Amino acid sequence: MASTQTPSSVAEAGATRLLARFAVGLRFEQLPPAVVAEAVRACVNLLGCSVFGGRHPSVDKVVAALGPFGGPPQATLPGRPERADCLLAALASGIASHVGDFDDTHPDTLVHPSGPVLSALLPLAEMRRASGSEFIAAFVAGVEVECRIARALQSAHYDQGWHITGTAGIFGAAAACSRLMNLDEDACTWALGIAATQSAGLRAMFGSMSKSLHVGRAAQGGLSAALLAAQGFTSAEAALEGKLGFIHVLSSVPNPQALTTSLHGDWELLRNTYKPFACGLVIHPALDGCIELRERHGLRADDIASIELSVHRLTLELTGKPTPRTGLEGKFSVFHGAAVGIIDGAGGEAEFSDARVQAADTTALRSRVTARVDPQLGMEQALVVITTVQGQKFTLRVEHCIGSLERPLSDAALDAKFLALAQGALGLRAPAALRALRDLPSAANCTDVSRLLAG
Amino acid sequence: MASTQTPSSVAEAGATRLLARFAVGLRFEQLPPAVVAEAVRACVNLLGCSVFGGRHPSVDKVVAALGPFGGPPQATLPGRPERADCLLAALASGIASHVGDFDDTHPDTLVHPSGPVLSALLPLAEMRRASGSEFIAAFVAGVEVECRIARALQSAHYDQGWHITGTAGIFGAAAACSRLMNLDEDACTWALGIAATQSAGLRAMFGSMSKSLHVGRAAQGGLSAALLAAQGFTSAEAALEGKLGFIHVLSSVPNPQALTTSLHGDWELLRNTYKPFACGLVIHPALDGCIELRERHGLRADDIASIELSVHRLTLELTGKPTPRTGLEGKFSVFHGAAVGIIDGAGGEAEFSDARVQAADTTALRSRVTARVDPQLGMEQALVVITTVQGQKFTLRVEHCIGSLERPLSDAALDAKFLALAQGALGLRAPAALRALRDLPSAANCTDVSRLLAG
């Protein structure tokens, strides 16, 4: 890593500064091929979600509410025809990326890492005409910083009521933008501090539009932190680890060591996963199991007397809605997930639409689904027991659901997911946009890539 | 209060909704004359600070960093020649209002209430050409909501590391803007929820530019919360009081009852105070005592062998810097406060400038000041013991320092403070600006008032 620091200052540097040093020092040439490949996969996955989500009413409302206060048309809004200034674009794109609950997940921390980072980075890179390799390096820097801060907050943070994709995400955006803007170590240290003191997002918002707002604000706040720091706007030196620092205020059981463990050489991005289903991650094992049993036994809804699910604690805590009324609520109903798994054999955006949630057949089958917590089951596990009206019993235990680290989505599946999500907004341009994303590491500039995502 | 609610829904409404109902229902005609008078005093005090602070380097940096992304010139930036869109104006004005640490204080909660509220409200009122009475009603609504939420967080919140002017301030801005925009109860409930999930600000930033950023972000975030809610962007119903709601996540010892205690009829604004000195509030009793002893005994720095201060715990915790190097650091040094009290007999912006902090005479006297915590002393109390080189000992116990609720600044003192602060930026226009603020309740529109504050 390029560094002008003397050994003594290295020894003295705190965690915030070490993270800043890592972020601004990261070079594309240092990245192992597997990390570059995973970065591309993350971009394909996330930006498909952003293009699809760009047409969601919550993004319409943000553009209508804040557009009149916005600046010059500097950046593309994925999936939309308008352009916006970079800060509004970061906000709107962040919301768009997350509103379908179809983005990526870092299972160890429950962070959805790419949304805050890419939503800030893409408009900035478009405006600066950054190269694809610079973009990839900045993206990786952002994800690595974000996931390490998420680890340091530990599960207590989420349990206390924080939405970690908002709270940790802003650091990813700040680090990535600092890297793309070639900030020095001091400025990036300040950017992380400015991010720390704007970090927010409550789980109490789940089920409302404000859940996705967290990702938008993380992207916008992280970008503006880097912009402010670039002008010499100061913050604290030890914003994360210091007395009354971020990790101590926002977690009752922080782990400061996790902030800087294995920087370089151990890549959090390689522990990222992509959703096959357009709903809360904790629904996936049950949905996966229902599809599998449907295929194996040719099950139809009319055959089924009951579906008994055994699931992880968080599945019921986060997705325990037995009678969802909208598509958004359906994404947080493991009961609806099981129903469409059996009826439709799928779990894409179509199966979590308002119409599909309100349909007679899903409503009827949902009422025959029960779910209970099994403390023995992990988050990517489920036990599905289906009893038919004829009294037959079919049982499946899902060990690692599709989309988990152990059963990752293939490149082909990610491409298909992108095309399905992007078709509506991009039409015939969707395959060209996909190719441009696949070729990102060698792209001369990101401006052309970004513009291909306009609706 | 105008309300379309049925008695049953009134009974069922939670605290967030009751606060929203109060805010959007508040009418200027309902306000007791004392409340209107205090609102005017708060405006005079705060906007003088904003005009002075508008020329601070931290505001220069924000305008330089974010101006290129800003929208149409909709609003005045106090103390500055440029205009900006309302959201950037709210951010910059909020920083300007607080950067001198010369704003107002609600002693029971340590909130500086007017900065977040007025910094959001003034640009919005300027753009909407709101009347002065509408402006005052919205301001009062904001302060009442803000201070009640601050009470509900209790002192645990501040002790845990939160800067309460940032965290509670955003609600004041959201409520005030909701009122000025005539939002209905549902929309204001959402606005408070959107505010809750963006609320932030760490005490770890004290001593850096990011401390004032909290006030700017609170203003900007509260305004944007109201704008989003006006478009139907949804949040949680019980964002404050619910399970995992704001007060439970951000305070280990919340008091939900305080959220709605004595809404109507008991005015938090009447418990607001204004600083006579341009430094941290917890320095004021010692500074006041030093000036008083100087006057009584004709003391000069050369006469003094030692100054022994006994102070409240927070005085040393927040302002314990013995060797400040800049004006900003001087504002957080009770040692510097005591020194200028003796040497200059004053504690205005001039006495907390870089030059004055770095001067030989203040540096020399500071080194002869000691301070210790006396657990018997309240926050507005201090014991000052001065020993002269001739061996004389002068003692003064300050019971209620000047500027406290018991010894409030007079209207004349507030006017003088405004004129001293505004002179540099407004020049000959300063008296006209003061008159316009004094006449605010009867102003036909706020646009003309706001424009008088341009630098």
Which residues of chain A have a CB within 8 Å of the CB of B62? 228, 231, 233
Phi-psi group of A207: left, alpha or beta (phi > 0 → left; psi -120 to 50 → alpha; rest → beta): left
Q: Which residues of A touch B243 (CB under 8 A)?
A: 204
- Go through B211-244 and write b for each residue having 16 or more CB atoms within 10 A of its CB, e for each that does not: bbbbbbbbbbbbbbbbbbbbbbbbbbbbbbbbeb
pLDDT at B61: 98
Instruction: Identify whether the C-beta of residue B202 lies closer than 8 Å to the C-beta of residue B250.
Output: no
- Residues of chain A neighbouring B196 (CB-CB closer than 8 A): 202, 204
The arithmetic mean of pLDDT across residues B124-129, rounded, is 98
In angstroms, the CA A304 to CA A387 distance is 6
Residue of A nearest to B68 (CA): A71
Q: Nearest residue of A to residue B239 by CA position?
A: A204
Q: How high is the pLDDT of residue A122?
A: 98
Give the amino acid at B223.
L
Q: Residue B191: closest CA among chain A residues belongs to which residue?
A: A210
First to last CA, chain B: 40
For residue A230, list chain B residues with Cβ-Cβ distance below 8 A: 65
Shortest distance between the Cα of B284 and any Cα of chain A, in A, equals 25
CA distance B124 to B112: 20
Inter-chain residue contact A85 with B69, CB threshold 8 Å: yes
Per-residue pLDDT reduced to its tens digit, A110-163: 999 999 999 999 999 999 999 999 999 999 999 999 999 999 999 999 999 999
The minimal CB distance from A244 to the residues B202, B227, B239 is found for B202
Q: What is the pLDDT of residues B343-389, one digit of tens each?
A: 999 999 899 999 999 999 999 999 999 999 999 999 989 999 999 99
Q: What is the 3-state secondary structure (H, E, C) of chain A?
A: CCCCCCHHHHHHCCHHHHHHHHHHHCCHHHCCHHHHHHHHHHHHHHHHHHHHHCCCHHHHHHHHHHHHHECCCCEECECCCCEECHHHHHHHHHHHHHCCCCCEEECCCCECCHHHHHHHHHHHHHHHCCCHHHHHHHHHHHHHHHHHHHHHHHHHHHHCCECHHHHCHHHHHHHHHHHHCCCCHHHHHHHHHHHHCCCCCEHHHCCCCHHHHHHHHHHHHHHHHHHHHHCCCCCCCCCCCCCCCHHHHHCCCCCHHHHCCCCCCCCHHHHCEECCCCCCHHHHHHHHHHHHHHHHHCCCHHHEEEEEEEECHHHHHHHECCCCCCHHHHCCEHHHHHHHHHHCCCCCHHHHCHHHHHCHHHHHHHCCEEEEECCCCCCCCEEEEEEECCCCEEEEEECCCCCCCCCCCCHHHHHHHHHHHHHHHHHHHHHHHHHHHHCHHHCCCHHHHHHCCEC
The answer, for B189 touching chain A at a CB cutoff of 8 Å, is no
Beta bridge partners of B76: B83
Q: What is the CATH number of domain A7-275+411-451?
A: 1.10.4100.10
pLDDT, averaged across chain A? 95
Average pLDDT value for chain B: 95
Starting at the edge strand that comes first in sequence, how are the strands of the sheet with B382-388 ordered?
B369-373, B304-311, B382-388, B393-398
Question: Does A315 reach chain B within 8 Å, measured CB to CB?
Answer: no
- List chain A residues with CB under 8 Å of B183: none
Measured CA angle at B354 (ends B348, B360), to 5 deg: 100
Confidence category of residue B180, pLDDT binned at 50, 70, 90: very high
**Between A and B, how many CB-CB pairs are < 8 A?**
187
Residue A11 has pLDDT above 70, yes or no: no
**Is B11's pLDDT higher than 60?**
no
pLDDT for residue A166 is more than 60: yes
Contact A204 B244 (CB under 8 A): yes
Please count the other Cβ atoms lying within 10 Å of the Cβ belonging to residue A370. Answer: 14
B390-411 average pLDDT score: 95
Structure confidence at residue A9 as a pLDDT band (50, 70, 90)? very low
B222 and A CB contact within 8 Å: no
- Supply the pLDDT for residue A2: 35
Q: Among A85, A231, A239, whose Cβ lies nearest the Cβ of B204?
A: A239
Please indicate if any CB of chain B lies within 8 Å of the CB of A236: yes
Q: Does B428 touch chain A (CB under 8 A)?
A: no
Q: Do A204 and B244 meet the contact criterion of CB atoms below 8 Å apart?
A: yes
Instruction: Name the pLDDT band for A397 (thresholds 50, 70, 90).
Output: very high
Q: Is the ipTM of this complex over 0.95?
A: no
Instruction: Compare CB distances from A196 to B86, B202, B217 and report the shortest one's residue.
Output: B202
Cα–Cα distance, B95 to B213 (Å, whole number): 5
Chain B nearest CA to A431, separation (Å): 32
Provide, as residue numbers in chain A, all residues whose Cβ is less than 8 Å from the Cβ of B205.
193, 197, 235-236, 239
Tens of pLDDT, residues B410-440: 999 999 999 999 999 999 999 999 999 999 9
User: Which of the residues B181, B233, B249, B250 would you substitute to probe the A interface, choosing the one with the greatest number of A C-beta atoms within 10 Å?
Assistant: B233
Q: Is B76 on the interface with A (CB under 8 A)?
A: no
Identical fold between B7-275+411-451 and B281-398: no
Any B CB within 8 A of A73 CB: no
Q: A245 and B204 in contact by Cβ < 8 A?
A: yes
Q: B161: which chain A residues are within 8 Å (Cβ-Cβ)?
A: 244-245, 248-249
pLDDT digits (tens, 9 = 90+) for A323-376: 999 998 999 999 999 999 999 999 998 999 999 999 999 999 999 999 999 999
Is there a contact between A384 and A283 (Cβ–Cβ < 8 Å)?
Answer: no
* 3-state SS assignment for residue B291: helix
Nearest to B200 among A72, A200, A230 (CB): A200
Q: What is the pLDDT of residue A207?
A: 85
Check whether B129 has a pLDDT greater than 50.
yes
Q: Does domain A281-398 have CATH number 3.30.1330.120?
A: yes
Residues of B within 8 A of A203 (CB-CB) are 244
The whole-number average pLDDT for the span B198-209 is: 96
Residue B12: the pLDDT is 76
For B168-190, what is the mean pLDDT? Answer: 98
Q: How many CB atoms lie within 10 A of CB B318?
A: 19
Cβ distance A62 to B228 less than 8 Å, yes or no, reads yes
Residue B172's nearest CA partner among B200, B147, B189 is B147
Which residues numbered 250-269 in A keep a CB inside 8 Å of some CB on B? none
In a mutagenesis test of the B interface, which of A192, A234, A246 is the best target, namely the one with the most B β-carbons within 10 Å? A234
Length of chain A: 455
Is A246 in contact with B194 (Cβ distance < 8 A)? no
Is the Cβ of A212 closer than 8 Å to some Cβ of chain B? no
Q: Which 120-159 residues of chain B touch chain A by CB within 8 A? A: none
Answer whether B70 sits within 8 Å of A66, measured CB to CB.
no
Report the residue of B126, B202, B253 to disrupt the A interface, i.e. the one with the largest count of A CBs within 10 Å: B202
Per DSSP, which regions of B201-303 are E strands?
Answer: 273-274
Domain ranges of chain B: 7-275+411-451, 281-398
Residues paired with A304 in a beta bridge: A388
Beta strand A273-274 with A104-105: parallel, antiparallel or unpaired? antiparallel
Identify the pLDDT of residue B406: 94
Nearest to B217 among A68, A198, A210 (CB): A198
Q: Which of B87, B210, B234 sits opposite A208 (nearest CB)?
A: B234
Closest CA to A427 of A419, A438, A415: A419
Backbone dihedral angles phi then psi of residue B402, each to the nearest 5 degrees: -60, 135
The predicted-structure confidence for B237-247, as pLDDT tens digits, reads as follows 999 999 999 99
B1 pLDDT more than 60: no
The residues, any chain, with a CB within 8 Å of residue A74's CB and separated by 6 or more, are A83, A84, A85, A86, A89, A123, A126, A127, B69
Residues in contact with B428: Cβ distance below 8 Å, sequence separation at least 6, in sequence order: none
- Is the whole-model pTM more than 0.80? yes
Q: What is the pLDDT of residues A287-313, one digit of tens each?
A: 999 999 999 999 999 999 999 999 999
Contacts of B244 in chain A (CB under 8 A): 161, 202-204
pLDDT in tens, B324-333: 999 989 999 9
Q: Are B289 and B395 in contact (CB under 8 A)?
A: no
Is B217 an 8 Å CB contact of chain A? yes
- Chain B residues closer than 8 Å to A249 by CB: 160-162, 202, 204
CA of A347 vs chain B CAs: smallest distance (Å): 25
Q: Do B202 and A239 touch (CB under 8 A)?
A: yes
Query: Residue A307: what are its φ and ψ, rounded to 5°?
Result: -120, 115
* CB contact burial B141-176 (16+ within 10 A = b; e otherwise): bbbbbbbbbbbbbbeebbebbbbbbbbbbbbbbbbb
- Distance, CA of A49 to chain centre: 10
Contact yes or no for B244/B191 (Cβ under 8 A): no
Closest partner residue to B236 (CB to CB) among A62, A68, A205 is A205
DSSP state of B252: S
Q: How far does B308 lie from chain A, in Å, by closest CA?
A: 28
Provide the pLDDT for residue B265. Answer: 84
* pLDDT(B10) > 50: no
Helices (H) and strands (E) in chain B, counts: 21, 8
| Confidence at residue A1, expressed as pLDDT on a 0 to 100 scale | 32
